[in-house]
Structure 1
Amino acid sequence: MAAAAGVVVRILDKRLPSALRASGGPCRFVNRRMCSKTQAENVQKPKPQASASFKVPGHKPSDWDKKLLLWTGRFKKEEDIPETVSFEMVDAARNKMRVKISYVMIALTIMGCIMMVILGKRAVERHESLTSQNLEKKARWREEAAQSVSAKP
């Protein structure tokens, strides 16, 4: 009776999806269809460096690229710039210029904020505010509207 039960369990276990099977059940069927490599083939071979294939042998810099190379301090004079330079050199100069421009923009933003605080404090000393300016503007509009109505015959 126990042997018949084992046979039935094995038959049913083979038909169940692998997620529903008992982990250590009587049937330990292993599906190796997807992994056909041997252990010797699994050993990784050294790969060639990716940066070597990325390098462009020569990049002719445009006038703008030459200016960037000068502004970033890569070369002292425009005559010192060779006919062809590596793309990495031009890219590094562009990145350096981006960083310099962002620093300048940060400094200008901070200076603008400080200037607005100073101007705001001066306006408070003169008792000027947006509310008072809006009230004066609306009073002027009412006067102009009243004058235009009275001027019409």
Structure 2
Amino acid sequence: AEQAHRVVASYKPSKFDKKILLWTGRFKTEEEIPLRIPPEMLDKARNKARVKACYIMIGLSIIACFAVIASAKKAAARHESLTSLNLAKKAKWREEAALAAEAKTK
């Protein structure tokens, strides 16, 4: 009776699943992928794809950090800072408010 319940489940992979199986190196070409695969194989491929994607995101984050550092150094060399930009913006707003007040009184 127990043997009847132990049926090997098979899963028909979608196009995206096939791309994951290829990207993770489980199969060399799309023609090698059988029509039905065990769900465990797809789970392992998805986990491997998640890890690869995380490593790619970590690498891109590190590159972005260095780009921000380089940009900040260039801005510092031009004597630009958030404080000076905010002060200039607020001075402009005060000037516009003063001109608007003068226009109302005339």
Assess same fold via TM > 0.5: yes
| Structure 2 unaligned residues grouped into runs of 5+ | none
Give the one of 133, 147, 153 matched to 2:99. 147
Question: In the alignment, is the contact (CA less than 8 A) between 1:56 and 1:87 conserved in 2?
Answer: no
1:55 CA drift (Å): 7.8
Decide which of 58, 69, 72 is 2:10's aligned counterpart.
58
Deviation of 1:71 (Å): 1.1
Larger radius of gyration: 1
Figure out how many residues of one structure are paired with residues of the other and give that number.
101
Larger RCO: Structure 1 or Structure 2 (Cα < 8 Å, ≥ 6 residues apart)?
2
Task: Note closer, same or farther for the CA distance 1:54–1:130 as it changes in structure 2 (3 Å cut).
Answer: farther
Runs of 4+ in 1 over 4 A off after TM superposition: none
State TM-score, norm by structure 2: 0.87
1:57, distance to aligned residue in structure 2 (A): 3.3
Q: Which residue number in structure 1 is paired with residue 34 of structure 2?
A: 82
- The CA deviation at 1:138 is 0.3
- Output the CA distance in 2 between the equivalents of 1:54 and 1:60: 19
- Report the Cα distance in structure 1 between the residues aligned to 2:73 and 2:6, rounded to whole angstroms: 57
For 1:78 and 1:86, the matched residues in 2 are separated by: 16
Counting aligned pairs with the same residue, the percent is 56
Aligned to 1:112: 64
Residue of structure 2 aligned with 1:129, choices 36, 61, 81: 81
1:117, CA displacement in angstroms?
Answer: 0.9
Indicate the RMSD between aligned Cα atoms, in angstroms: 1.7
Shift of 1:149: 1.1
